[in-house]
Chain A
Amino acid sequence: MSFFLLVIGVLKTSTSNKYLRSWSLLSASILLGLLPAFATLGEAVSSVQADQAHIQATQNITQKSAYSIHELKSASGMAVREYVSPGGKVFAVAWHGPFMPDLKQLLGSHFQEYRQALQGQDQRARRGPILVQLPDLVVQLGGHMRDFAGRAYLPDQLPSGVSAEEIR
């Protein structure tokens, strides 16, 4: 995974200017031709860069004891936080902004699982937030027009000691 190591190297050496940093990441990804079509939840940390390119965002990284948070802010005002385990896997994403995010991009390989679970629910009864709770996947969407928020996480991949309440 030389691409992965290169990206981490960029992250570690460039912390002063987030615009410079994001452009470094983006250009590294494009130069290597390694932008995956969709990846994120459950994928390696490199998928954060794919999301960053997809929504043309700037990025901030916050290191917590049990994980790191990669916060992306899109040009259209969507804030996306991706939670990365010490093993380098994205185990949760949360978002808030005036528009719906591209959920297919954020959920990656879990998008179909989410869609199928949603189709199995009685949508006519509920006119409000969406809640899909599966043993291995939780997706929550809330808000209203011009103000949307939500989160998705993999319950069996939360680092030990981390509760779902921290993902927001």
Chain B
Amino acid sequence: MFAIAVVCASCGGSSHTSTTANTVTTTGSNVQAIAVNSGPAGNYANGLFTSVTVCVPSSSTCQTIDGVLVDTGSYGLRLLSSAGGGTLTLSLPQQQDGSGGTTGECAAFVSGYTWGPVASADINISGESASNIPVQVIDPTFSAIPTACEDGGVPENDTLQTLGANGILGIGPYVQDCGGACEESGAENPGLYYACSSSSCQVTTQALTQQVENPVAMFASDNNGVVIELPSVSGSASSLNGSLVFGIGTESNNALGGAAVFPLDSNGEFDTTYKGQSYAAFVDSGSNAIFFLDEALTGLPVCSDNAGFYCPASQTNESATTTSGSTSSSVNFSIASADELFSARANFVFSTLGGPNPGTFDWGLPFFFGRNVYTAIESRSTPAGTGPFWAY
């Protein structure tokens, strides 16, 4: 895998192209092992997994959960209960809503929603820990799923088969999974949090500190962001090992070095230019392909067997430029037929997996192969300025 150097003499800002292989850090108390593999359900394509230890707050009653998806496109830890086919059996104290009920959440992801109570836990990952923070326990048997949750139109992902993971570790650029809107009442409330009795739930307001929150932001140290480090992949592989490094510029092993810094706009996006046109874009380790534009703009046909992926007749080389402010960086990538990639049953790591996403670039997991990708959290300072930003 190599990148073609691009000279940008008249850009005015900085232009970056990486030509050397990235180095994956493996030692340090802020380093957590991560791996791309088939996951606990045995069928995940481009799923990035790790393990997380959760404890009843202020106790030594703990359980380590493996097969947890590492997701920079969401915020907060969610663990699949044994009722949903997950491995979580530890009984975490449920958050009380102030009127005798418990707090439930309908958390929306673009590929599905998770439902279940909000609970409190101490979280330990590598040498880092967060104390008594709100997490979601994914549990399809928790009260009745509100109609509004199903009316969002995305599938329910409350079982091992539908989630494909024992949980989701949301470590993206924001602190809470909702933000200020969930503190509002009436029409301004988007309806993520519910006050639940044993039989039914009603939308409720939820203070910021009670919302499910990014565990990294709650660490005692190294709490301004993360670095995901995965080696490059030529074509496909059965598995891939890498590191999740906590903190940005806080230790000797997480300096930004020469990485280009891309601040996020108010939508949490930056720009990507493809064939002379600029589009909204984002970086997301929880998206399992590079999802971009459509058949007409890319010339890549959509698969017949695997809906939602591209299936070119032969592998095609693509190029795009990511931009934020005066910083830009060219990205070269390749797309191969998903139908053919998936026919190799022993492979679960696909560097050339792509799919449509009209009007937008979603730089999913293949983008992370061969790059150290920094995700800085909102309002947290780093040596390269205040988050939120991506850097690579």
Contacts and interface: CB of A to CB of B under 8 A. Distances in A.
A18 to B, nearest CB: 16
Contact of A76 (B107, B111, B187, B307): B187
B188 A145 contact: no
Contacts, number: 176
A75 B154 contact: no
B186 interface: yes
Nearest to A55: B187
B162 interface: yes
* Interface of B (DSSP majority class): loop
A20 to B, nearest CB: 18
B44 interface: yes
B43 A144 contact: no
A146 interface: yes
A interface residue count range (under 10 / 10 to 19 / 20 to 34 / 35 or more): 35 or more
Interface stretch (A5-13, A41-49, A81-89, A97-105): A97-105
Interface stretch (A23-31, A62-70, A120-128, A154-162): A120-128
A76 B190 contact: yes
Interface stretch (B22-30, B122-130, B316-324, B356-364): B356-364
Given A128-B288, A148-B108, A148-B110, A142 B360 contact: yes
Interface in B197-227: none
A129 B110 contact: yes
Of listed A56, A75, A99, A105, residue having the most chain B CB within 10 A: A99
Interface string A88-131: 00000000101111111101000100110011011111111111
Interface residues of B, number: 68
Contacts of A126: 111, 288-289, 306-309, 355
B151 A129 contact: no
Interface string A130-168: 111100000011111111110100000000000001001
A165 B279 CA distance: 13
A128 B308 contact: yes
14 contacts: A74-B187, A75-B188, A76-B184, A76-B187, A76-B190, A102-B151, A103-B154, A123-B155, A125-B308, A126-B288, A126-B307, A128-B308, A140-B358, A146-B177
Given A75-B186, A114-B153, A126-B288, 15 more contacts: A76-B190, A99-B192, A100-B152, A104-B150, A123-B112, A124-B43, A128-B355, A129-B357, A131-B356, A132-B307, A140-B358, A144-B172, A148-B110, A149-B359, A165-B296
Interface of A: 55-56, 74-78, 96, 98-105, 107, 111, 114-115, 118-119, 121-133, 140-149, 151, 165, 168
